[in-house]
Amino acid sequence: MKQFEIKNYNAENSWFKHYYKHNPRNPVGNVPEHITYEIKPLIPDYITTIINFGCANGRDFIPFQDKYNLVGFDLVKGDYIEWVCDTTNLIYYQCSMEDFMEPHNIDVEDLSTSLVYTNVSLFYLEDKQEEFITYLLNKKCQNMVFQEYKNSFHGHFQPGKHKDLFKERQFNRKDVTGFIYLDKF
């Protein structure tokens, strides 16, 4: 695994600790979200990389780890994470989605062979979700799957002018909705 620290958030002792460390009493934290298995057969053949913002311990990489290159973004140091996925093809960045969009932080020119995935992470961007989607589109990304709150006191998915790009679909969880933009879906 390759790891890069774009910004140190000192998040190791935060409330989010349970997303990065194994908890035998909560094995669900080691199981991929159902949506990942549902979208896997829908992914276009030319996709080579799965990018996960808010990757936590890598559980949502498990369905993709044998076929794709994996790129994860989250707020804690990679060495702190107890990875549940195979990290052979993983590149991990300690940074936020806002850091990702900043010029010169990460050299991203072309996302045309990538699928970008989030699971209840976009609501942290609050009023920058539309900007994030625009950034991805400007980098030629044609494949995005966001499992996010549709309406919630936590915040919700706000794609702004990009709303018509996404098809909505419920998967196993009733509290979140899948927002899917795949070029063959």
85/64 Cα distance (integer angstroms): 9
Q: Is the pTM of this model over 0.85?
A: yes
Share the mean pLDDT of the chain.
92
Which secondary structure element, helix H or strand E, spans residue 169, and what is its range? strand 167-169
Q: What percent of the chain has pLDDT over 90?
A: 76
- Distances from the Cα of 63 to the Cαs of 139, 161, 162, in angstroms? 25, 31, 28
**Selection from 90, 137, 109, 112 nearest residue 46 by Cα:** 112
Q: Are 147 and 156 in contact (CB under 8 A)?
A: no
pLDDT tens figures, 149-159 = 988 777 889 99
Convert the pLDDT of each residue in 45-70 to its tens digit.
999 999 999 999 999 999 999 999 99
Pick from 13-17, 42-46, 77-81, 167-171: least confident:
13-17
Answer yes or no: are the C-beta atoms of 137 and 27 closer than 8 Å.
no
